[in-house]
Chains A and B, each alone.
Chain A
Amino acid sequence: MAKPNTTFLVNNSTNDGENTGNATGGAGGNSSSWVVVDLVNDILAFLDTQQVDGDADTVGPYPVIIPAAGSIEAPKTFLIDDSESVYDQIPLAGSDQGGQTGGNTRYVFAIYFDGATAGIPYLEAWDDNTHATIASTFLGAGTPANSTLKAIATTDAAPGATSWAGTPLAGTSSRVSLAAAALGGAQNVYFNIRQVIASTFVPLTKTDGVLTLRYLYS
C-alpha cells in the first residue's frame, strides 16, 4: 500500500456519467467529459451568471452578488483553466438552488486514486495550505456550520434530492467522508460542492483558502 497518486477532475459537460478515463479523464460514461485539474495553477471559482462558459480568463471575474435578504447559491461554478486560459463551466455543480443544471447528480467532481488507502479519504476546507485555521468568513469565521462551502459525497450514490443541502466545510470538525471505507484499490471518489452566500456575508478582497483532500496510506 504505497502512497497512491491522486488526480482531481471535473465534469465540464451536462451529462451525468462516470470518469472512465481515470487519471487522464476525457470522454466518460453517458457522454460526460472529464478535465484533469492542474492543482498548482487552476482555480475553482463560484461566480455570478454574468460569467460565461469559455470566457477568457482576462474577463471578469464576476463575483456572486450578496442578496439583500436570505441567502443565494452561487449561480455558476467554473474551473479557471490555466492551460487553456478560459473559464470552464462545471454545469452540474451545486444543487437546483443555483443557476446551473445541478441537482440530484452524482458525477461532477472526481478524485482518482491509483492505489489503496489505509483510511477513509476526506474533503476539507482551510484558510490556507498550512491547514491550521478556519477563521475566514468563507468558512464561517470559526463557526463551521456557517461555512459558505457545502459539499456532499456521491461516490456510492447521487445526493437523493435535487435541493441537497450538503455538509459545511471547515477544517476537520466539519468535513465530508468521500467513501464508506478505506479504498481497497484504484478507484474514483466523487463529490459535488456549492457555495451559499447569506445576506450577512462580509465580503473578502482576498483569500488563500484551499480545498483539501486528506487520506491515509501505509
Chain B
Amino acid sequence: MQLIAVPKLQNAWSFKATFEGDLPPRYYQSPNVLLANPGWSDEVFRRSLEQLEFYLPTGHRIVMTGFEQYNFFLEVAQDLGRGGRGQIEAVYLCGKLPDQPVVYRWRIGGGRCVQDKVRWGMEGLGQPSRGWKSGVPGNKVDSLVVKW
C-alpha cells in the first residue's frame, strides 16, 4: 500500500503563539485544538504575544499581529437529548485593536472561515469573553490568511 504523506497538514487545527522578546520559549505550538486541551491558559501565556497564527486544514494559515490583546476560544453546543455529546461548532481567534474598542474576530466553523469586526465586549457570542492575553502594540496591525 502506498501512503501519501502531507506533512504540512500535520499542524491543522492548531495555533502558534509567538512571544515577545528573545527568551525561550519563543513559541507555543498547540495540539490539535479539536482533540486536546488548547493550553491557552497555561503559565507560558503570562508573556505578551507578538503574533498569533492558526493553521487551517486547507493548507492556509491565519496570521494576526500588532494587536493590543489576543483571545482564542472554542464554541461548544451540547444537547439535552438525541446525542448529548458536546460538539465543537467553531474556533475563534480575536485581536483587539490598540486604543480602540474594536475586535477583529475570525470564526472557523461549518466549513467556513470568516473574519468580522465586533465591538469590544461583544466578541463572545454577543458578550464579553474571558482569557485575553496582552499583545505588543506598536507594530503594524495585520489580520490575514496566507498559504502555509
List the interface of chain A (C-beta within 8 A of B): 1-3, 6, 8, 37-40, 42-44, 116-120, 122, 124, 128-129, 131, 172, 177, 181-182, 184, 208, 210-218
Q: Which residues of A contact B89 (CB under 8 A)?
A: 131, 214
Q: Is the CB of A211 within 8 A of B75?
A: no
Measured in the bound complex, the distance between the Cα atoms of B78 and A129 in whole Å is 9
Q: Is the CB of B83 within 8 A of A129?
A: yes
List the interface of chain B (C-beta within 8 A of A): 37-38, 40-41, 71-87, 89, 92, 124-125, 127-131
Q: Which residue of A lies closest to B72 (CB)?
A: A218
Measured in the bound complex, the distance between the Cα atoms of B75 and A60 in whole Å is 38
Q: Is the CB of A3 within 8 A of B84?
A: no
Measured in the bound complex, the distance between the Cα atoms of B39 and A54 in whole Å is 46
Q: Is the CB of B125 within 8 A of A218?
A: no
Q: Is the CB of A116 within 8 A of B82?
A: no
Q: Is the CB of B77 within 8 A of A1?
A: no
Can you sample 19 A-B contacts with CB below 8 Å? A1-B40, A2-B38, A2-B41, A3-B37, A8-B80, A39-B80, A39-B81, A39-B83, A117-B130, A118-B124, A118-B129, A119-B128, A129-B79, A129-B83, A211-B79, A215-B75, A215-B76, A216-B124, A218-B72
- Residue from B71, B77, B84, B130 in contact with A39 in the complex, judged by beta carbons closer than 8 Å: B84
Q: How far is the CB of B25 from chain A (nearest CB, A)?
A: 19
Q: How far is the CB of A118 from chain B (nearest CB, A)?
A: 4
Q: Is the CB of A218 within 8 A of B81?
A: no
Q: Is the CB of B77 within 8 A of A216?
A: no
Q: Is the CB of A40 within 8 A of B76?
A: no
Q: How far is the CB of B135 from chain A (nearest CB, A)?
A: 16
- Residue from A117, A182, A212 in contact with B77 in the complex, judged by beta carbons closer than 8 Å: A212
List 18 additional A-B contacts (Cβ < 8 Å) besides A2-B41, A6-B78.
A1-B40, A2-B38, A3-B74, A39-B80, A39-B83, A39-B84, A40-B84, A44-B80, A118-B73, A119-B129, A129-B79, A129-B83, A131-B77, A184-B130, A213-B86, A216-B74, A216-B75, A216-B92
Measured in the bound complex, the distance between the Cα atoms of B91 and A137 in whole Å is 31
A-B contact count (CB 8 A): 115
Q: Which residue of A lies closest to B42 (CB)?
A: A1
Q: Is the CB of A119 within 8 A of B125?
A: yes
Q: Is the CB of B129 within 8 A of A39?
A: no
- Residue from A44, A182, A214 in contact with B81 in the complex, judged by beta carbons closer than 8 Å: A44
Measured in the bound complex, the distance between the Cα atoms of B71 and A128 in whole Å is 31
Measured in the bound complex, the distance between the Cα atoms of B84 and A122 in whole Å is 16
Measured in the bound complex, the distance between the Cα atoms of B127 and A172 in whole Å is 13
Q: Which residues of A contact B92 (CB under 8 A)?
A: 216
Q: Which residue of A lies closest to B124 (CB)?
A: A119
Q: Is the CB of B40 within 8 A of A39?
A: no
Measured in the bound complex, the distance between the Cα atoms of B125 and A131 in whole Å is 15
Q: How far is the CB of B15 from chain A (nearest CB, A)?
A: 10
Q: Is the CB of A211 within 8 A of B124?
A: no
Q: Which residues of A contact B130 (CB under 8 A)?
A: 1, 116-119, 181-182, 184
Measured in the bound complex, the distance between the Cα atoms of B80 and A129 in whole Å is 9
Q: How far is the CB of A32 from chain B (nearest CB, A)?
A: 20
Top 9 nearest A-B pairs (CB, nearest first) are A39-B84, A119-B124, A2-B37, A118-B73, A182-B130, A218-B40, A218-B73, A1-B41, A211-B80
Q: Which residues of B contact A208 (CB under 8 A)?
A: 82
